[in-house]
Chains A and B, each alone.
Chain A
């Protein structure tokens, strides 16, 4: 964004200067000159860059490992070039050119992924789709919108709201993630229990295939016309083609909203009440249950902020998040994180209560009934009604958590999140097995925030440190290895909504349960030259 302003300034005061700089940057690129000239012909002189500073900024996403590496002074591999195509035809031409010259392509939306899904392995061209950000059409009769892949979530949602609709997709990255990124990774929003994940919202796709052909799937409610082509590309993380546009289901902007908080004496009662609600046809927009450790830290964060507010220094963020509590605590007890077994054992044995947040939205009469029935179920399961406030407060600060990370790294420790899912009867088993595996290396807490009639996701937040930067990297890898080995063994899925990228690629064979030949066959046939986002998804 800042660069755009910089560019705009340049255009105003020295309209040709930016072009001069970009053209000069060609000298830095390791791509063959002939290829570069072709690219300039395709996208024009403004829509590419080989400037080292820009390539460096495109060399990473929000994968914690890369942040740690950078702290250790290790710069990630940059792409050889960044291009900003403005049309489907330009994307097609770029793909054809890359295919002829066998140059890897890395499609990129807003690079807010956390698994290394958009970073170069050794070489390649990054295709940033942010200049393809139009809403192409809004079909009010069919409740459908077609938009280009590069549109940023928040801008998209606001425009839909102006028209009386909502997409119902609210990842906490909504300010810094794109529609294409959501579809490519099977993203989930905070209101997924009502509206579904992004794969539940996609009706049709436009995809540039690795040979430059354009695939447009049919915009129809359902069909019985062979395997689902949409489901080949949803979640494909750029390895099978470049998604350039999608048509999505819309809902009416909700007329009513109801907020409700609960606290349960223990986790099991909270989980039981979620299952009962989901299986009683209730569709809470938000249903979040925090495990006892997370609940404990949230209350710490709340206390800390409340104290500040009382002293007149508050920023109105009271009760924000467990992570704030964590930061507060870590400042005081950082040394404890060198050996996290002890604080984990202490917290896991002492903290018992689990906090729940519920929000219902939609048609007023339905919302009122769902709210009342949800309360009845929670009370029956042993919950204590904490009124509206906890849910309202969460709603107010719902995106903040994603934007407070950098402080943590500055303090000398690191955080990450691990999201998995399983069926109800395996949920506690998966939770305790993974909690145990992580507890050796990191402070760990979890919440349960995407529920279905058949099962639920678990979202672990971890914090750890090491004496040296190398120690931290080693510990980081240990955490993931032990956590996902335990998760796989306990029957969970590798990822509920962050995707695979590079981080989880090595478990994909195990995840597929013997069906990986089908995935490999997709890659071999659709992308025989293997130019599309190499190394991601383990294919």
Chain B
């Protein structure tokens, strides 16, 4: 799209605007910025193929600088991509057309922790773990713990509608947003109102959250925080099968006995957990964890909740499986390299969202479909009063890289088509990026047309992260 001379002009402008050292374009760095954790990218990597590279990477430090970059990019018709930590799994930040990457990691200030309002104002480039630790030191928590917390940013969370492992209590990231600061695709800087709720037209925060850098660039956010929990109660339960386990989760969520963590593993996933269940080995492990700063309330909810889990068919396995989960809760994301190091193997995860009525049907439909192509398992890790997230994990193998790629795609196809036919959502919290775009169009129907037109109106040169969310 962008011509070479326009691109050079743009890089010159960036050098003038940001100064030396805040714009880079050497090839090694460009290769590093060319990919995220989208799994088929590893096939290319193993073969030594160099993916499409960005033209340059720049590091703005203020919203004003981001606004200037967007304005210059509009004038020069140069596409740009907002970038946090590159830990997305769907190609949401990868270049396809010599884009310039706007890496926001230098905008990482924690502007203020407000102990009266229970809010934190934090810039988009702050890393999750850094923010959480800073909050902990002041006696607070964001309550947002994606397993990528060491390698993902607040901006990335907001752009993709991220979920943390404690979502049952604290909600997803969209539930924590009070207000946003950023730059729209037309170059205008905005600060939405700092208010707990309002009735002032469509909720612009909720339109920008999840927009994956296609409508504007979020530079800072005011988020709700909670007092650091004092007491924690964890417990493992064994359930005969997925059906009874799901039923127990549903009852718990609908009885106001909401835990912080609620996870059910299907029989194969339970096997990988290496937890001994009482009774038949084919059973399912459920982990429930209660925490909170209100000790009495937490204790009461935990007591009633554990009791309810027993009443609904759970065999009490004691504290240990719960504490074990807590200890290893981030490990899974950082152990994948062992499998990915195998030349013929690929693993991936697919998280979908479904109401309780259809949850078992979706699981039973999608799992065998994925299972035809390799090893497939699932856990149910984000529960809501009206439904649940099914998190499929699968491993496919083939000595032919192209066939491996094909098998991976087929597994996705099985899962996505099952969601679309049942009326579930194709993504619960990983987002869309490039890879899910075609299925997104099917899920949103007339809604996708609205997003496409909205993008065209606000981003007339289509320069912001083109092609992501299927918006081009």
Contacts and interface: CB of A to CB of B under 8 A. Distances in A.
A225 B425 contact: yes
Interface string A477-510: 0000000000000011111111110001000100
Given A223-B353, A281-B292, A363 B256 contact: yes
B207 A142 contact: no
Nearest to A362: B256
Contact of A512 (B190, B199, B385): B190
Interface residues of A, number: 94
B206 interface: yes
Interface in A406-437: 421-426
A513 B207 contact: no
Contact of A511 (B161, B193, B197, B211): B193
A231 B200 contact: no
B414 interface: no
B427 interface: yes
Contact-residue bracket for chain B: 35 or more
A34 interface: no
Interface hub of A370, A514, A515, A519 (most chain B Cβ within 10 A): A515
Contacts of B27: none
B136 interface: no
B204 A518 contact: yes
Contacts, number: 299
A226 B195 contact: no
A222 B423 contact: no
Contacts of B161: 222-225
B386 A227 contact: no
B19 interface: no
Interface stretch (B6-14, B42-50, B297-305): B297-305
B385 A249 contact: yes
B190 A515 contact: yes
Nearest to B227: A279
Contacts of A234: 202-203
A112 to B, nearest CB: 14
B446 A215 contact: yes
A227 B208 contact: yes
B197 A188 contact: yes
B447 interface: yes
A521 B384 contact: no
Interface stretch (A318-326, A347-355, A382-390, A449-457): A449-457
A213 interface: yes
A468 interface: no
A259 to B, nearest CB: 19
B204 to A, nearest CB: 5
A469 interface: no
A514 B216 CA distance: 13
Given A186-B199, A493-B198, A218 B453 contact: no
Contact of B201 (A214, A235, A498, A521): A235
A310 interface: no
Interface string B331-361: 0000000000000000000000111110000
Contacts of B215: 227, 518
A454 B207 contact: no
Interface in B174-202: 174, 178, 184, 186, 188-202
Contact of B200 (A221, A228, A500): A500
A188 B197 CA distance: 10
B384 A222 contact: yes
B457 A521 contact: yes
A365 B304 contact: yes
Interface in A228-242: 228-237, 240
Interface in A499-539: 499-500, 504, 508, 511-515, 517-519, 521-522, 524-526, 537, 539
Interface of B: 114, 116-119, 160-163, 172, 174, 178, 184, 186, 188-204, 206-212, 215-216, 224, 226-227, 250, 254-257, 292-294, 296-297, 300-301, 304, 353-357, 382, 384-389, 423-432, 440, 443-447, 450-451, 453-454, 456-458, 469
Q: Which 10 A-B pairs have the closest CB atoms?
A: A231-B206, A514-B190, A186-B199, A221-B384, A224-B161, A221-B387, A223-B425, A455-B196, A515-B190, A452-B196
